[in-house]
Structure 1
């Protein structure tokens, strides 16, 4: 715990993900784009379908290899988190650790996020006012670019348990490409996530930042859930509403879940 605190406090707020969660950044977004193109084939040009698909597969493999290079050896944060989750299978201990870590991560960036969101709201107000006064003003585009930059920074410095578990899934998918059966870490990750999900921790099915479902990770996770719970019926509950209208708070209250509900945060994706 003390190692994690010291490590996180030293980092620049907007570089936390880039340094500690390397598999969720540019490489992952590039891989998702290539995988979607494999099915859409919108950029084929003069190439044959077979040639285009072959080039995409080669590029996907290259990106995965880059991910493996960046992911291993595991950095201090992911090594510590996985070590604790692997060595403490008791539900109470795990929940205590995750709650403690969640509170600390929230406090780490809360002030910075508040400032960014306030700046974003002020810019939106300026845009709405300017649209009424001068719809063709050059300031509108400049303010719009500033809002996009702020949104990117908010995403970059938002760090919670869901991002850590997303990184676990990415580690699994990257290892799946490189002799996974010989890797004990690879074999243990789905069981860790399945135990967490059964105990009430939200598990991400679709990456809300990349709009992509890591199918191999999700399939392995549900295989472990089925092994533990058997062939149970699945009930699906959907909850809709505007941002910050209390969706996560309602789910937490009704079902004892642990969605982040801090002001300025947004739960994106499917869980």
Structure 2
């Protein structure tokens, strides 16, 4: 659901906020066509999502009905398994990336703006895109759950037991301290309905708590995720050669002894994609 269909839906939604008159069409006609196209895409997603395939069904069931420590064991095991599926391919791509980067450094020493320099920079971009597309992990599975929810919401399946249970999965993981994707970095878009539903469930479970939000912003590969991990003992992804895409959030409970002194019960940490 999150591949081409989700990408197209995001493009259409962004187009909605940059409306232009096209030919004989008015802006209202253009808006209507975009909304129709968005609904068509959601309908296609829904036909793929119901019933969920074997993989998604088993993941949803385990994350929904297992005890907390079993969920974390399952997530860690599955993350390692999925990383192993792509590790060899990723290493080959990174070797190519290092080789091209060395050539770029040599060209820079020559202080020349040759065509070969431009060609090498294009090669680096192509390889970087392949590396990001090769990434496969728990994030993609949770993103898929979010897309199933949004497709069901669009179809007004609000009484569907699957629809009602999905935000519970992400909310439980978030309350347990797992990082949850806030913005999908592959399409630079926040799935607002999904994120709002997850926050509603978190709020419902935790009650009226005081929340402090702390975010980190900086250049790409400047160590933002590493800094948050070191300061707060977290597990934002920092594996070599992998830059954070989008934005992730992680909920931390404040020790009772510090709550009055600090003035809040929970900290929501947001790790963001690098600038430039």
Q: Same fold (TM over 0.5)?
A: yes
Deviation per CA, 1:132-152: give whole Å up to 9, x if none. Answer: 465232x34443443333222
Alpha carbons of structure 1 residues 156 and 43: separation in structure 2 relative to 1, 3 Å? farther
Q: Where does 1:112-261 land on structure 2 (aligned, <5 Å)?
A: 112-130=89-107, 132=110, 134-137=112-115, 139-261=116-238
Contact 1:34–1:60 (8 Å) recurs in 2: yes
Q: Report the aligned-residue RMSD.
A: 2.1
Cα distance in 2 between the residues matched to 1:109 and 1:43:
45
User: Aligned with 1:235: secondary structure?
Assistant: strand
Change (3 A) 1:95 1:254: farther
- Find the aligned partners of 2:103 and 2:5 in 1 and give their Cα distance: 35
Q: Name the counterpart of 1:63.
A: 41
Q: Does 1:79 align with 2:57?
A: yes
CA, structure 1 residues 119+169, in 2 after alignment: closer, same or farther (shift >3 Å)?
same
Q: 1:175, 1:186 within 8 Å by CA — same for their partners in 2? A: yes
How far did 1:162 drift? 1.7
Please report the TM-score for the alignment, with normalisation by the length of structure 1.
0.82
Q: TM-score, normalised to structure 2's length?
A: 0.81
Structure 1: stretches of 5+ with no match in the other structure: 1-22
Q: Which has the higher helix share?
A: 1
Aligned residues: 247
**Higher-strand-fraction structure:** 2
Q: Distance in 2 between matches of 1:157 and 1:128?
A: 26
Q: Cα offset for 1:118?
A: 2.3
Instruction: List per-residue Cα deviations over 1:236-270 (Å, max 9, x = no partner).
Output: 11224444444334433443433223222222111
Which among 85, 88, 96 is matched to residue 73 of structure 2? 96
Q: Which residue of 2 aligns with 1:10?
A: none
